[in-house]
Amino acid sequence: MKLPTTVVIHNWRRKTNKSGVYPVHLRIAMICVQKYDPIPIPAKISKEQWLGEDDNWVRDDHPFYFEINNKIRERKQLVQNLIKRYYMAGKTITFSDIFMELKSAGHSKNLNLFFAEYIRRPTAFGLKASIPGLISVIITIILLYRWKPSNNILNQSLKIL
């Protein structure tokens, strides 16, 4: 099984602009195909401030170097943990799996956010987009976790039905 690789890239288009500052992207490569994901950072970085070393990508003379380095580290770690989960499960990973995880970063820890996203786009989670499927998920949560019907996300999902 060929695993994806991740590299942090500064100015991946290699174009120059008037301001001289560029965004940072995470390059994900799988079997000779590369895709880029923009990393949300508070300020763009100039060529002089970019070091490109692991865990020390931005020089300390940048006003937001600590925040930028942490954002890059978190984003890269999120993708690496996803790759590790798929590898341990013996599944093949695709770009859509990786970008779905990057888009919904943090939703897996909050059940309300997960179901709010599921109600908006159920097929994106690999679940069948049907009313009986949604009802069975809600009933399972009520029975297993003894949710109170006054929960906001439960009321929202029941209004859809």
User: Are residue 73 and residue 98 in the same domain, yes or no?
Assistant: yes
User: Are residue 50 and residue 117 in the same domain, yes or no?
Assistant: no
User: Are residue 30 and residue 98 in the same domain, yes or no?
Assistant: yes
Q: What would the mean pLDDT of 119-141 be, rounded to a whole number?
A: 66
User: Are residue 81 and residue 141 in the same domain, yes or no?
Assistant: no
- Give the confidence band of 6 by pLDDT, cuts at 50, 70, 90: very high
Q: Do 152 and 146 touch, CB atoms closer than 8 A?
A: no
Task: Assign 19 to helix, strand or coil.
Answer: coil
User: Are residue 77 and residue 132 in the same domain, yes or no?
Assistant: no
Cα angle 108, 112, 116 (rounded to 5 degrees) comes to: 95
Q: Do 36 and 55 touch, CB atoms closer than 8 A?
A: no
Q: What's residue 125's pLDDT?
A: 53
pLDDT digits (tens, 9 = 90+) for 45-86: 999 999 888 888 999 998 999 999 999 999 999 999 989 988
Q: How far apart are CA 102 and CA 82, in angstroms?
A: 10
Q: What would the mean pLDDT of 8-27 be, rounded to a whole number?
A: 88
Q: How many domains does the chain have?
A: 2
Q: How far apart are CA 21 and CA 127, in angstroms?
A: 42
User: Are residue 98 and residue 113 in the same domain, yes or no?
Assistant: no
User: Are residue 118 and residue 64 in the same domain, yes or no?
Assistant: no
More confident residue, 108 or 41: 41
Question: Is the backbone of residue 90 left (phi > 0), alpha (psi -120 to 50) or beta?
Answer: left
Q: How far apart are CA 127 and CA 134, in angstroms?
A: 9
42-51, 81-90, 142-151, range with the lowest pLDDT: 142-151
Q: What's residue 161's pLDDT?
A: 47
Q: What is the DSSP letter of 49?
A: T
User: Are residue 113 and residue 135 in the same domain, yes or no?
Assistant: yes
User: Are residue 33 and residue 80 in the same domain, yes or no?
Assistant: yes
Q: What's residue 77's pLDDT?
A: 92
User: Are residue 77 and residue 121 in the same domain, yes or no?
Assistant: no
User: Are residue 57 and residue 117 in the same domain, yes or no?
Assistant: no
| Domain-ending residue, one of 81, 103, 125 | 103
Question: 119 is in which domain, residue-wise?
Answer: 109-160
| Domain-ending residue, one of 103, 118, 135 | 103
User: Are residue 130 and residue 152 in the same domain, yes or no?
Assistant: yes
Contacts of residues 17-25 at CB distance under 8 Å and 24 or more positions apart, as own/partner, are 19/44, 20/46, 20/47, 21/45, 21/46, 22/46, 22/47, 24/57, 24/68, 24/72
